[in-house]
Amino acid sequence: MLLDLSEEHKEHLAFLPRVNSSVVAEFGRIAVEFLRRGANPKIYEGAARKLNVSSDTVQHGVEGLIYLLTESSKLMISELDFQDSVFVLGFSEELNKLLLQLYLDNRKEIRTILSELAPDLPSYHSLEWRLDVQLASRSLRQQIKPLVTIKLHLNQNGDRNTKVLQTDPATLLHLVQQLEQALEEMKTNHCRRVVRSIK
């Protein structure tokens, strides 16, 4: 799978061939450090002074590298696919090898950092349900009032919590239809593309 880089990202990475390989390696170190601890404008300003360029240019170059490394790590693309993705940028062979080495050295750490940044959402454990039907009351002798009670057990951070929901069968049927419709929509090409870009 090849990376699809936008024109903006290509512009940000276009700064890399203008500097020597040691600077690109330092940019790679700054990019990984950025993922670990966040942005540090002083680093950009110091590098900009040494290279005699604006700090925005340095920042864009680092951000372009961050995007390249995080997207490659997210998708776990192979060495060959990474080289093909970078080859499109028209860099020298030496720079391509340096970027590949940066990717290979840091992809596991980047994946670990990205997994820590992901939100921890509750996951399904089990479900209990009960159907109650009220057939009559003191005021109404013949009435049918069904009620579905659902007890949903969820896991989150090793803890188990329980949610109790109550609804009538018509609302439950509508909810089931909406969920089935959403599942069908997930099979469309547009949704697949969106999901792929999120991963």
Give 133-186 pLDDT, tens digit per residue. 988 877 777 778 899 999 999 998 888 999 999 999 999 999 999 999 999 998
Residue 199: what pLDDT? 57
Question: For residue 54, which phi and psi values (nearest 5 degrees)?
Answer: -75, 155
Name the pTM for this structure. 0.59
What gap in Å lies between CA 30 and CA 59, rounded to an integer?
A: 10
Residue 98: what pLDDT? 85
Those residues whose C-beta lies under 8 Å from the C-beta of residue 96, and which sit 6 or more positions away, are 83, 86, 87
Residue 178: what pLDDT? 96
Q: Is there a contact between 70 and 107 (Cβ–Cβ < 8 Å)?
A: no
Per residue in 39-63, pLDDT (tens digit) is 777 887 888 888 888 888 888 888 8
